[in-house]
Structure 1
Amino acid sequence: MTSDQQNGKSPFLTKSPMDNEENKNNTNKFRRTNINSLCSFNFNRFHYCVLLCWLFGIFFATQMIFSVFSNYIPKWKCLLNNTSNFARNCTTYQQCPENLIQFEENIPFHSAAMEFGWICGSNAYNRALFSQIQFAGVLIGTLTFGAISDAFGRKPVSIFALTVGISSMFATAFAPNWHFLLACRFILGLCIGGDLVVVYTFVMEQLLPTQRMAIRGFFNWGVARLIFTLICMFFPDWRSSSIACAIFSMPALIIIIFLMPESPTWLHSKGRLEQMRINERKIVRLAGLPPSIKLPEHEKLSPKENSFWNLIKDKTLLRRVSVLWVMFTAAISGYSIDLNSSNISGDLFLNQSLLSSICAISKICLVIVDTIFPRFSRRNLHQGAQFVVIISASLLVLFVLYDHDGIGILLANLIGITFIELTWDACYLCAVESVPTSLRASSVGSCSLIARIGTLIAPVLVFLNTRWPASVYLIIVLIGSINLLISWLFLIETKGINLDSVHLHEDNKQYEFIGKEEMKNLKIEENKE
């Protein structure tokens, strides 16, 4: 309720020019405050540990795209025909004697596909199988680990997922055959699913509302992918790079074991109030704050929200979570555009670094905009980014139909991929901020599960391009338009919401559409904390 309403004044009365000038000055003052706080986000020592944990955690998840390097095949030619050029021609490869096959010089990365002979013929399918079996593991892991962590806690499940996953990554480096390799990658995929759901939820529950966007901006997929690319560049062999990636993922596990206590938010949802206060005091000590600081108050949770089966039985929860399944569109669009982007000539690692850097820079810009402009909501982020994706895909349809083969296709693909990454940010933030603590990991897991289904369907869209070249982009336009309509009608606004106060069966108008005054109040409350 605004101050005018408290004083009996109608909020719809016309304001005087003096009032408008005062509001303008307040807005400018608030914006200057946001600019000054942009570099700090109220971080303390504990928050930095949490952010580092997620940076190494998201790096662990980049193993999902390890097939970019592990399936890399250089061009070849047959020495029987000295006039032939280097190309990926399977007819030439199969007709030429093995000892007369010559690959390009200066191969940038020695892949598993080359070692096990997944080049042409029936064995070539193993390259696709390498990715499919890992994504199948991710799909299963996103759902199962989320439900387990809701029941047994964020910390033990996070430790289990990272320990088993890192061990599997080490094991892949010593795989004696491709059967053992695929088995290890499936187990690794399961653990990546746990990392994306449980570790992410664990980290988000330890941060302040204003810091949630920072983690998406400065500790994001683009940064992790760039680090992953650099490691593969310095260790240009799939076995040695697997060991290096496993070692580089270990800090996430170490931080969780020794520095991050069990989530007080999860303990509160289970009614373990004494342990919750103990853990909050540990966090105060780790943060370097005075012991006399007042601990936050927690709202009493409704018992009705504490059952996992409410994810299916509760109509309010099901409706809210089903709207969050817009992740499906982000997954299917991103993977499809990535597969259909024009072949970028040049150095393998330079191209990968370029894609990673563009993604990372766009997310940093997003944090700056989100901080300086408090009215820039989660709905604005999702709908604006999705609209740009639709425009980019529409341009690609026109380029293909008019046989345009130039830099325009490359730019449209890069813009589309960049803004698809921004829709991922909106999806994950809304998923975490829209559901109660007791069901948060399960709900995020269901959203991630739907996204993984979209990832598995995307290659089918790519296959349709062999029948009609513009089909994949047209489908992205259609799916994206439906997604935009659903977001416009049903996606609730959650920016600045306290994760401990998310309920299903109460009037949520206070955070469905957060205006300027509400955001100012939220900012004041966070500074008090």
Structure 2
Amino acid sequence: MGTTIEAIYDDIGGFSVAQCIIISFIFYNFLGASWSMIQMAFAVKVPDWTCVANEFGDLQQLGTEFYSNVTQVYSNGSEFSEKCSVNGSVCINYEFSGAKTTIVNEWNLVCDYEWIPSVVISVQMGGVLVGAALSGQTSERWGRRKSIAVVTVWHICSNVLAVFSNSYQMFMACRFLIGIGIGGTYTISFPYAMEFLPLKSRGRVAILPFWTLGVAIFVCVAYFIPHWRYLHLGCAIFCLPGVTLWFFVPESVRWLTVNGRLDEAMAALARMACWNGKPLPPDARSTLEAIYSSRKTCSNAAKQYSFIDLFRGRYFLKCTLIMCFMWITLSLISYGISFGVHGLAGNLYLNIVLTNCVEIPGLLPVLWLMDRAGFGRKCATVVTFSIICITTVVVLIINIQDHGDNDRAVFWFAMITKLCIDNVWNVIQAWVSELYPTVTRALGYSIATTSARVGGMLAPFLVDLKKRVVLTYLIISSLSLGVVLLCMLLPETRLCVLKDSIGFSSAAANCEEGVVETIIVGTNDEDDDEDDAHERNGWRKQNGAEKSEEKTVLDPAV
């Protein structure tokens, strides 16, 4: 019989049919958000273009001091390949080649307007920031299910509105609205899914490549329909089935429990048990009542938590500040490479696929690291960011020495860095969800993703593998080293039961001090590997238990 929600999940089948259905519906919306985010890598692509001058003088005469970087004039005087000005004259008529229709050739965003695509990306990331901040608060107050349904409808409507953009200013505003939908989806989906999972399944689900699958779907569509308007419409249509989540996925059992809605929590558990073909354990109600009573004992049950609570107390302050820095670094590096993929040598579609699917070979090693006894979330983070730091320094040296093959070095640097950064992002998503209790989990994940959008807004300007290579390497190596050092200060959460409320129990101590609350439950699990068994035996000796399985509970101080 279970004394925690994780134990109840084990009693009704563990990771089985119910979890598969719930995870599939929740992360389907994640696929649409991934499509919507990465399509800006296509939308800002600059096609090959030519300045066209005819006998009527389609060149506007301007001062030569402003256009001092003029390099070449064609002898026939009729065409200037990607030259903004010639001998003091600025081009005002452009001809673009290729079948792709991006916002660049839609509104002639070259020369004086070449800065606009980067600003559009930053505005979108600003929208993601707003969406992440708002959805964290709404999902704590109104629930995960209702919030993600509203966000999904918002995301669909914003994409449809973008189709009718008649200027880059309107498109920029639409991308801000789309960003709100993306940020909300990212922020709600992961904690929502994690709260349905048994203890041992959290790490495995965390590394599932939903982002990669969403990108792959986008690339397949973009290859056959290379038009930014139709891609926005396609994204809206693709996201429509996500609205059905409202009818099939129950509200988070944890959220219902800590908010005192025990009848609804029992109904959700009964539905999951039915899907799994298992009976609901007879003590399930008493377990939920005990969890709710514990929350009332530890804190004010009627309290509505806010972002301010994430900075109260030494434990929360430390976790929040370090996680914010880590997520800024993740976003700056990952989106800097993803949105700058058009600057890499080679085919655009292939590069988008490679830079976003390269994480797949690293999934199993990262899973092994984050779930292996003696390693965990912290070790996986240190190893991957150390690889990024070392790779950056090596490629920086190659570029400084200039061996004449810098394009290839930059390409492989991008591949290795994306492999590491995308995989460690999966680890840190699980980590941040496990550091906070249920009453502030969505807020904690929200402030992390909000911080990531700050990195995403800066990425188009700071990470440039074509024009500012050396500065890019210095930024990435410095930030990666900072993450390696700071993450050592965070507690390990491997095999930790998710905490539901804020406060201490008499048997609990601060997790950051290395002492943990222990919950004793009977077990006959013969499938545990020897390392896990050895680790639990050490906990038994420490806490005086002899014939039981122990699960660690994070109990942060306030």
Task: Tell me which amino acid in the other structure corresponds to 2:269.
Answer: E
> Corresponding residue for 2:533?
517
**Whole-angstrom distance in 2 between the partners of 1:180 and 1:384:** 44
Counterparts of 1:185 and 1:141 in 2: how far apart (Å)? 12
Cα distance in structure 1, aligned partners of 2:26 and 2:175:
22
Structure 1 CA distance for aligned equivalents of residues 165 and 262 of structure 2: 47
Name the residue aligned to 1:363. 363
Task: Report if aligned partners of 2:222, 2:231 keep a CA contact under 8 Å in 1.
Answer: yes
Partner of residue 555, structure 2: none
Over aligned residue pairs, what C-alpha RMSD do you find? Answer: 3.4
Residue pair 1:76, 1:104 contacting (<8 A) in 2 also = yes
Shift of the 275–119 alpha-carbon distance from structure 1 to 2, 3 Å rule, reads same
Separation of aligned partners in 2, 1:385 and 1:144? 31
Matches within 5 A, 1:194-209: 194-209=184-199
The change in CA–CA distance for 1:485 and 1:292 in structure 2 (over 3 A counts) is closer
Q: Distance in 2 between matches of 1:47 and 1:390?
A: 37
Output aligned runs, 1:22-33, within 5 Å. none
Task: Identify the match of residue 216 of structure 1 among 206, 209, 225.
Answer: 206
Cα separation, partners in 2 of 1:148 and 1:119, compared to 1, 3 Å: same
Structure 2 residue aligned with 1:29? none
Aligned residue among 128, 134, 153 for 2:124: 134
Distance 2:209 2:438 in 1: 23
User: Bigger CA drift: 514-523 or 241-250?
Assistant: 514-523
1:44 equivalent in alignment to 2:60: no
Q: Secondary structure at the match of 1:470?
A: helix
Percent of pairs identical after alignment? 22
Runs of 5+ consecutive residues of structure 1 not aligned to the other structure: 1-40
Structure-1 residue corresponding to 2:376:
377
- What is the CA distance between 1:471 and its match in structure 2? 2.4
Give the corresponding residue for 2:273.
284
Q: Which residue of 2 aligns with 1:436?
A: 437
Aligned to 2:473: 473
Q: Deviations over 1:325-344 (max 9, x none)?
A: 22122222334455677943
Q: Residues 342 and 244 from structure 1, CA distance in 2 versus in 1: closer, same or farther, beyond 3 angstroms?
A: closer
Contact 2:148 2:188 in 1 (8 A): yes
Q: Separation in 1 of the partners of 2:550 and 2:276?
A: 19
Instruction: Give 1:433 shift.
Output: 0.3
Q: In structure 1, how many angstroms separate the alpha carbons of the residues matched to 2:339 and 2:189?
A: 28
Residues 337 and 67 of structure 1: CA distance in aligned 2, closer, same or farther (over 3 Å): closer
- 1:303 to 2:299 alignment: yes
Where do residues 244-255 of structure 1 align in structure 2 (5 Å cutoff)?
244-254=234-244
Q: Distance in 1 between matches of 2:235 and 2:493?
A: 35
**Alignment partner for residue 263 of structure 1, among 252, 270, 289?**
252
Give the drift of 1:182: 2.4
Match of 2:50, SS? strand
Normalising by structure 1, we get a TM-score of: 0.81
Distance in 2 (CA, whole Å) between partners of 1:520 and 1:42 is 20
Asked if the contact 2:25/2:249 (under 8 Å) is kept, the reply is no
Residue 426 (structure 2) pairs with residue 425 (structure 1): yes
Q: Secondary structure at the match of 1:66?
A: helix
For the structure 1 residues 510 and 283, does the alpha-carbon distance in structure 2 shift closer, same or farther, using more than 3 Å as the test? farther
Partners of 1:262 and 1:251 in 2: how far apart? 18
- 8 Å CA contact 1:172, 1:242 repeated in 2: yes
Q: Whole-Å Cα distance in 1 between the matches of residues 534 and 323 of structure 2?
A: 24
Aligned ranges for residues 311-390 of structure 1 at < 5 Å?
311-325=310-324, 326-337=326-337, 343-367=343-367, 370=370, 373-390=372-389
Task: Please state how far the C-alpha of 1:414 moved relative to its aligned partner.
Answer: 1.1
Shift of 1:462: 4.0
Cα deviation for residue 187 of structure 1 reads: 1.4
Q: Distance in 2 between matches of 1:465 and 1:504?
A: 51
For residues 169 and 342 of structure 2, what CA distance do their matches in structure 1 show?
Answer: 33
Question: Alpha carbons of 1:252 and 1:215: their partners in 2 closer, same or farther (altered >3 Å)?
Answer: farther
Per the TM alignment, residue 288 of structure 1 is displaced from its structure 2 partner at its CA by 3.5
Secondary structure of the structure 2 residue equivalent to 1:495: coil
Q: Quick check: 1:125 aligned with 2:103?
A: no
How many Å separate the matches in 2 of 1:463 and 1:345? Answer: 13
Look up the match of 2:41. 68
425 and 463 in structure 1: CA distance in 2 versus 1, 3 angstrom threshold: closer
- Shift in CA distance, 502/511, structure 1 to aligned 2, threshold 3 Å: farther
Partner of 1:116: 107
Q: Give the structure with the higher percent strand.
A: 2
Residue 91 of structure 1 corresponds to 85
- Answer whether contact 2:330 2:421 (CA < 8 A) is retained: yes
Distance 1:293 1:178, change over 3 A: farther
Superposition pairs of residues 171-182 of structure 1, within 5 angstroms: 171-182=161-172
Residue equivalent to 1:275 = 264
Report the secondary structure of 1:333's partner residue.
helix
1:433 is paired with a residue whose SS is: helix
* C-alpha distance 322-242 of structure 1, shift in aligned 2 (>3 A): same
Amino acid at match of 1:112: I
Equivalent position SS for 1:218:
coil
1:156 maps to amino acid = K
Summarize deviations over 1:284-319 as a string: whole Å, max 9, x none: 223333456764834322216953342233333222
Residues 212-252 of structure 1 show CA distances to partners (whole Å, capped at 9, x for unaligned) of: 22333333322221122112223221111111111212233
Matched, 1:77 2:70: no
1:148 is aligned, of 132, 135, 138, to 138
Mean CA deviation greater in 507-516 or 271-280: 507-516
